[in-house]
A and B are shown apart, each in its own frame.
Chain A
């Protein structure tokens, strides 16, 4: 896990000040100049509201590849491997949609986005979809013009502290200095938690995780707060020094990480949502990447529909009859996805198991 520390340098991310400016500039420029295309679309339509004419699927097919926004710098979620191929949970969620549309998971381009540029990039149409460990919240759906099509990961915010402090619970952090990385829901969650329990807080808001790691090692802050999976992978990436820290048992927030699409294109929303449900259904029914062809001659009507042998599920979505088969052949079912990506961080699947195994993941019927 040495890769973690190198992630930012290797991914060659532009300095974030630049990213802020760029992100804002992209949005302003796109919104200010875009009317040409927007008006063109309105004129070519046959009346009705603007939302009827947005055709993301058509645009993707015409372009020949699917553009997906990821972080590109977080192992387990999206991080380029030795050959420069994007790997991780977010990356494979993106590939599953490409497979559903084209039957080929490699007809895809990844765009690396920071937490600041992610929404402007999606809003302005620079990417078709966002799978960038982004938490589903009311404000993001209601006022950013976005919709969450599926929740593919249930995370929660926790604390990591030095063992030598002798702290056993986050409730003992009264008056502590807590580091937090900028650009996510974790700042606000931390404040809510300390206010709710009437604890004094000295926050340090730092932009990058590298500086947080130094601050923690030098005792500048007593604790660090972020999503539990991130804390786990940070602890792991520290090697032997990681043993000096404990993850406090308190989980102070719900972080359902979802796939984000633009509001107003119901067809594309349905494709993203049901592509994920297809992967869940495959896990429920024991269909995997390797054994899927043995289900061709299945007698189970449910699996027959899944395999596209009967029914017209694909046509209903505007896709090929084999769409679900293509998804599983490309990335496998949800269990395979987990084992290949997040499991490597040393994190238990917990609530991310299927409902029948005691988790939260549940597939509505595909019929």
Chain B
């Protein structure tokens, strides 16, 4: 027996020495993955090298040198200072910020509206449930581009600038947009804003502590007095003590347009309304699926404890529903961002619009398509990252 065992052991040793590389599963996996990665990078490199060679052979200029050249592009809406004398880089930055701003507001408003409609669809009120289901079916089924055209046309039917609606002094509504007054910005206003933000943080912390206390002591403590002191009185005191002026920059109809104040353009507004209404329909369905995923037993148990229906929703159902809601909500947020690229159809100058115009002026299509892709990739990955962090917080913790 020992002789046989020795034989087997010797054989095994030989096999290990000869074929250790191939027989080891970990090594084998590594080799395959390395080969796959090599093939991928190799073909990308090959394509890129050929691209470069062919562009040169066809006398087509390439590279990103054009970014520092004067753009000379017309851009109506810009969150940072911009004139046509600025560079292509700055023009593309303005376009990116326009994309970010419309995507940011659309996501926030679509989430609020979508959640409200999703909750309404599960309501026991027949009319409310029916109306919200009609909303979802109507707006989910019509292509976004058509909806944008619809909103843009409706906004254009507002009165022309010379007959602008003037509901409150200083506010003008016309087909040139909604104009309203803003304060003349000074350093003192900046400090007031900073005080407000700090107080907002303090309020959040206080609210958290208050709710923890309530869980411990079983008695609800009113937190509004503290919130009002923190959010209203302290910032006002800061503002007044630094002498922040209350002068307003009032919009005035002048010449062809309204000058002064701040104007929200119909293009931005149509895009915002279109994106919010279209995506809210999808978000409503995501919210409904989340709410319905929470078992009936949870509702019944909460009712048995004597909780108010409002509190059942916010304390029992929603925290559990979020586990189902957040992952598909992430991809819906990505759709909002990508949907904003339809902006050019209704004259809002997002990154696609600015890059497309730049393409026409410079002929550098490949570089500019790369820029567009880079911008969307960065925005999308950032949204995914933030939502994944949030998802990790609401996900069921398995012990």
Contact = CB atoms under 8 A, between A and B. Distances in A.
A222 B59 CA distance: 42
Given A177-B176, A205-B347, A23 B365 contact: yes
B151 to A, nearest CB: 13
B347 A204 contact: yes
A219 B153 CA distance: 11
B interface majority secondary structure: helix
Interface string B263-281: 0001100000000000000
B344 interface: yes
A184 B360 contact: yes
Nearest to A264: B59
A204 B256 contact: no
Contacts of A31: 50-51, 54-55, 58, 366
Contacts of A204: 76, 267, 347
Given A145-B59, A211-B347, A188 B73 contact: yes
B257 A177 contact: yes
B139 interface: no
Contacts of B254: 175
Contacts of B157: 218
Contacts of A183: 356-357, 360
Contacts of B57: 38, 50
A312 interface: no
B100 interface: no
B54 A191 contact: no
Given A27-B365, A205-B357, A215-B156, A191 B74 contact: yes
Contact of B54 (A35, A144, A175, A262): A35
A175 B257 contact: yes
B84 to A, nearest CB: 5
Which residue of B57, B85, B369 has the most chain A CB atoms within 10 A of its CB atom? Answer: B57
A188 B388 CA distance: 43
A211 B345 contact: yes
A201 interface: yes
A139 B153 contact: no
B356 A116 contact: yes
Contact of B360 (A115, A174, A202): A115
Interface string B302-314: 0000000000000
A191 B345 CA distance: 21
Given A31-B50, A38-B54, A177-B257, A203 B363 contact: no
Contacts of B341: 17
A139 B363 contact: yes
A219 B175 contact: yes
A145 B58 contact: yes
A123 B58 contact: yes
Given A143-B61, A192-B72, A182 B346 contact: no
Interface in B145-168: 145, 149, 152-153, 156-157, 160-161
A116 B267 CA distance: 23
Nearest to B355: A20
A72 interface: no
A211 B156 CA distance: 11
B74 A27 contact: no
B47 interface: yes
Nearest to B256: A176
Contacts of B149: 211
Nearest to B176: A177
Interface residues of B, number: 55
Interface in B167-199: 175-176
A81 B75 CA distance: 38
Size class of the A contact interface (CB-based, 8 Å): 35 or more
A139 B353 CA distance: 21
A15 interface: yes
Nearest to A117: B365
B362 interface: yes
A202 B363 contact: no
B363 A207 contact: no
Contact of B345 (A35, A140, A208, A264): A208
A195 interface: yes
Given A116-B359, A187-B357, A206 B347 contact: yes
A182 to B, nearest CB: 6
A339 interface: no
A205 B289 CA distance: 41
A263 B259 CA distance: 49
A117 to B, nearest CB: 9
Contacts of A201: 74
B19 interface: no
A190 B76 CA distance: 13
Contact of A175 (B48, B61, B256, B356): B256
A195 B72 CA distance: 9
A191 B86 CA distance: 12
B259 A175 contact: yes
B121 to A, nearest CB: 32
Nearest to B259: A175
Interface string A299-338: 0000000000000000000000000000000000000000
27 contacts: A31-B50, A31-B55, A31-B366, A32-B51, A33-B47, A34-B54, A35-B50, A38-B54, A116-B359, A145-B60, A174-B256, A175-B259, A177-B176, A177-B256, A185-B360, A188-B361, A203-B74, A204-B347, A206-B344, A206-B346, A207-B345, A214-B153, A215-B156, A215-B347, A218-B156, A218-B157, A219-B160
8 smallest A-B Cβ distances: which pairs?
Answer: A203-B74, A145-B59, A143-B61, A218-B156, A219-B160, A206-B347, A24-B369, A32-B47
Given A33-B50, A34-B50, A191-B72, 11 more contacts: A24-B365, A31-B366, A116-B360, A145-B60, A177-B176, A180-B74, A185-B360, A187-B73, A206-B344, A207-B344, A211-B347
Interface of A: 15-17, 20, 23-24, 27-28, 31-35, 38, 50, 115-116, 119-120, 123, 139-140, 142-145, 165, 173-177, 179-180, 182-185, 187-188, 190-192, 195, 201-208, 211, 214-215, 218-220, 222, 262-264
